[in-house]
């Protein structure tokens, strides 16, 4: 058990706190919470509602379908969460609203957010939040150009990406550095036992024990997968001489029809 201060503290504003068991109690992220590498506090706006029925939503001005989260319980939750983060003395603490209109989440955005010791994350429901709540928001983040029913899954997606980048979370710290997008490429293919599965063999080079040959094969495989599946990533990447040479080989092989 890690006794010192958590590396990253999340304060999440949500109407559905139970959903966060999915991240706090399971797998790699669950272990990170258990070992106090990260810390999570949940704030339910319903508990800040002054209304007898604990109402947190209302109809939108101007009419139209759907309800909206009202400002007062949300702002009270954000202020309470922020106060707690300030008391802990967390550096670079930010308030983030998960919303389809936010900046698209990417590996670079995750790296940037890792400079924060604390994040207050607002997850909304219904049609979203009263626009005036944005005066309490530092950043808006989207997980993609599609709409989910609530911000909880987007928040957990961002939290999971952040957590696995923290030192001590993965059994082998190197494995996060070899993931897709870290060096601007997709990850290479992987194989495990048995050596032959339904007449399909593992590539010979991976059984050779020759580390340099394996490194080159993996790099070429990464380049090949990126070239075929995500050429947009290659267009943005500054290739090393070795990568440029391997990519040229791949393009020739493709012209010859061997891939």
**Which residue ranges make up the site for ligand SAM (CB under 6 A)?**
98-101, 123-125, 127-128, 142-144, 146-151, 154
Nearer CB in complex with ligand SAM: 158/163: 158
In whole angstroms, the minimum distance from the beta carbon of 81 to ligand SAM comes to 16
Nearer CB in complex with ligand SAM: 30/150: 150
Q: Residue 148 is inside which H or E element, if any?
A: none
Among residues 109, 127, 140, 187, which one is catalytic?
Answer: 127
Distance CA 138, CA 244 (A): 40
| Neighbouring residues of 155: CB distance < 8 A, sequence distance ≥ 6 | 12, 14, 98, 121, 123
What residue number has its CB nearest to ligand SAM? 151
Among residues 100, 109, 139, 218, which one is catalytic?
Answer: 100
Nearer CB in complex with ligand SAM: 17/128: 128
| Neighbouring residues of 245: CB distance < 8 A, sequence distance ≥ 6 | none
Question: Could you give the C-alpha distances from 250 to 67, 186, 226, 246, in angstroms and in order?
Answer: 53, 15, 11, 6
Q: Is 125 a catalytic residue?
A: no
Distance CA 147, CA 143 (A): 9
In whole angstroms, the minimum distance from the beta carbon of 247 to ligand SAM comes to 33
Nearest to 124 by CA among 106, 140, 108, 103: 140
Nearer CB in complex with ligand SAM: 144/203: 144
Q: Is 179 a catalytic residue?
A: yes
Q: Is 127 a catalytic residue?
A: yes
Quote the DSSP letter at residue 129: B
Among residues 84, 164, 218, 230, which one is catalytic?
Answer: 164
Residue 226: exposure state from Cβ atoms within 10 A (0-12, 13-18, ≥19) = buried
Nearest to 5 by CA among 87, 63, 122: 87
Among residues 79, 160, 179, 187, which one is catalytic?
Answer: 179
Distance CA 219, CA 214 (A): 9
Q: Is 57 a catalytic residue?
A: no
Q: Catalytic residues, which ones?
A: 100, 127, 164, 179
């Amino acid at each position: 058990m890690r006794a010192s201060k958590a590396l990253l503290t999340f304060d999440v504003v949500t109407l559905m706190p139970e959903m966060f068991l999915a991240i706090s109690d399971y797998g790699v992220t669950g272990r990170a919470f258990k070992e106090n590498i990260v810390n999570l506090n949940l704030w339910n706006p319903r508990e800040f509602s002054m209304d007898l029925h604990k109402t947190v939503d209302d109809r939108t001005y101007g009419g139209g379908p759907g309800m909206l989260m009202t400002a007062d319980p949300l702002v009270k939750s954000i202020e309470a969460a922020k106060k707690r983060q300030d008391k802990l003395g967390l550096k670079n603490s930010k308030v983030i609203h998960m919303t389809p209109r936010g900046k698209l989440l990417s590996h670079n955005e995750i790296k940037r957010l890792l400079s924060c010791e604390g994040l207050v994350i607002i997850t909304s429901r219904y049609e979203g939040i009263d626009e005036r709540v944005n005066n309490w928001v530092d950043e808006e983040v989207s997980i993609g150009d599609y709409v989910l029913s609530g911000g909880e899954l987007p928040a957990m997606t961002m939290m999971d990406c952040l957590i696995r980048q923290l030192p001590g979370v993965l059994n082998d710290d190197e494995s996060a550095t070899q993931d897709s997008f870290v060096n601007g490429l997709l990850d290479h293919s992987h194989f495990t036992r048995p050596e032959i599965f339904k007449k399909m063999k593992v590539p010979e080079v991976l059984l050779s024990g020759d580390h340099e040959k394996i490194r080159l094969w993996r790099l070429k495989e990464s380049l090949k997968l990126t070239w075929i599946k995500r050429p947009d990533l290659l267009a943005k990447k500054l290739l090393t001489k070795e990568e440029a040479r391997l990519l040229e080989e791949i393009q020739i092989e493709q012209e010859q029809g061997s891939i």
